[in-house]
Structure 1
């Protein structure tokens, strides 16, 4: 029988796999520290910290996303799953020549956050429309804050039942571990043996449950679906993995995933 992770009873399957030692280049997105470099990572939080946290309010926040960006696609799908599109303004950046006003607005937000900011205009970026500042450009924090805000009905478009708890506390560690595993092993540039081993593990996981961590959809499914679709056409990359192939096709028909793709793909 394959190992599975059911909601409320994590076996640590992905945490164990993520701890496996590997060698090679550092993960994408890492930046070597520099004594003279200006900061370019901002990690404010919504609703975290009485002194410096940004409290939640409808229409207070704006997201800048980037077309064709894997991280932006994860954010856009999460927004749709949580019914937050109407209360959170979203701007999709293409190239400066096509969206000059959007780039100018994002630059003003970075400069309001750090005087004379001359670093990269990183997206996804979550901005506070009241102060004009960047709250965060760290995607995992943005995703966590959106998930944690899902129970605030005044921020949602849909107040009815059925909205998923994307980051339940009992599965948070496994969600983080799976994200680390995907970043390392499930990319077009991952070593083929590592990618094949991880895809086999995931295929076994989905043999006995509709979602990667059990019966209900979680943030792990958003991460996994986006990672799998970035490998290439399903007929090629996943042809040897029956359950993964079916999973990608099934979630690809989900309204929230369709909405996220329409926004950022």
Structure 2
């Protein structure tokens, strides 16, 4: 969802999320049900207690899907997948039988928000962590969700899981993440929802200035920070994976396609073919979401058939830059059968749900 307001016709994202945290060592004075207000409560890490509600169409949710898979938390935190479209009211679980999430027993994600905060006044967003015993949303603060998966759930990571928040690179990663978020992740939305020509022109210039910076930064290094994958790469990937399919045309980010930015295109292909990235990407859901939901931008709701996806499997040559995706660790195995993206939605996948090799 593109929840936000306009300031002088510039789109400004609403970032006032439910900021509760799920922590390995929560403060008892901030326990749920105590005196701490919603947004400041701390919940305990507890395998099997929480369900991650996502939609594969959403880049912010896709970020959480990738991190959960890279860390091997599938058996520790279950995942409910909403459909790609929604109305002004809520994301819905229309992919499930009878349109009801089989664990939470609800048809709309809004029901989990209302269970926690009756009359919840803000947008119903994904990703969201839901407390299964009560059916109430815990948090929808997407930056904290993925950071906590990496840092608070470490005892439950799979053997060989990557360190996506390496201590020696935290300061540099924070700077990179800040620029990628403001100028790229959110920058495409600032272009797409600009209310005037001036607002659009300024957003467009900011976006491509940042993409040019990334082209230069990644020309001689395989990953954004350090020698292996970090969350910085996850955060950039989800925007790049949607760029040609949605942002270039739908959001008018059309100076260049991703395929016309040689360094970023090779970098994106490198990530796509890394387990956890391309195999979590549902291009049909992505296109349906943007083109069907945003009727103010695309009044007809017509969804484009392209772009062709097999180019994502072309050799990228990024290995020559050194480094390796998992450092001293190992890649995750095939995704659980019930969580695999349909091959019809991503033809780069094989029957095991993994990206094919040429």
TM-score bucket (shorter structure): 0.7 to 0.9
**2:131 maps to which residue?**
128
**2:294 maps to which residue?**
none
Contact kept? 1:74, 1:226, Cα under 8 Å = yes
Contact kept? 2:240, 2:268, Cα under 8 Å = yes
Matched positions, count = 229
Matches within 5 A, 1:12-161: 25-30=10-15, 41-47=17-23, 48-51=26-29, 52=31, 53-94=42-83, 95=85, 96=92, 98-99=94-95, 100-102=99-101, 104=107, 106-117=109-120, 119-152=122-155, 155-156=156-157, 158=158, 160-161=159-160
Q: Return the TM-score normalized by structure 1.
A: 0.75
User: Matches of 1:113 and 1:138 in 2, distance apart?
Assistant: 15
Contact kept? 2:93, 2:100, Cα under 8 Å = no
**2:244 maps to which residue?**
232
Matches within 5 A, 1:106-255: 106-117=109-120, 119-152=122-155, 155-156=156-157, 158=158, 160-161=159-160, 163-186=161-184, 187-188=187-188, 189=191, 191-232=203-244, 236-255=256-275
* Unaligned runs of at least 5 residues, structure 1: 1-22, 32-40
Q: Higher RCO, 1 or 2 (CA under 8 Å, sep at least 6)? A: 1
User: Matches of 1:87 and 1:120 in 2, distance apart?
Assistant: 27
For residues 150 and 57 of structure 1, do their structure 2 counterparts lie closer, same or farther at Cα, with a shift above 3 Å needed? closer
User: Matches of 2:222 and 2:244 in 1, distance apart?
Assistant: 22
User: Matches of 1:59 and 1:105 in 2, distance apart?
Assistant: 21
2:75 is paired with a residue whose SS is coil
RMSD: 2.8
2:152 is paired with a residue whose SS is helix
For residues 239 and 83 of structure 1, do their structure 2 counterparts lie closer, same or farther at Cα, with a shift above 3 Å needed? same
1:231 is paired with a residue whose SS is helix
Contact kept? 1:112, 1:133, Cα under 8 Å = yes
Stretch moving more, 89-98 or 52-61: 89-98
**2:302 maps to which residue?**
none
Q: Return the TM-score normalized by structure 2.
A: 0.57
User: Matches of 2:278 and 2:240 in 1, distance apart?
Assistant: 15
Contact kept? 1:44, 1:135, Cα under 8 Å = yes
Contact kept? 1:150, 1:165, Cα under 8 Å = no
Stretch moving more, 179-188 or 67-76: 179-188
* Unaligned runs of at least 5 residues, structure 2: 1-7, 32-41, 86-91, 192-199, 249-255, 287-358
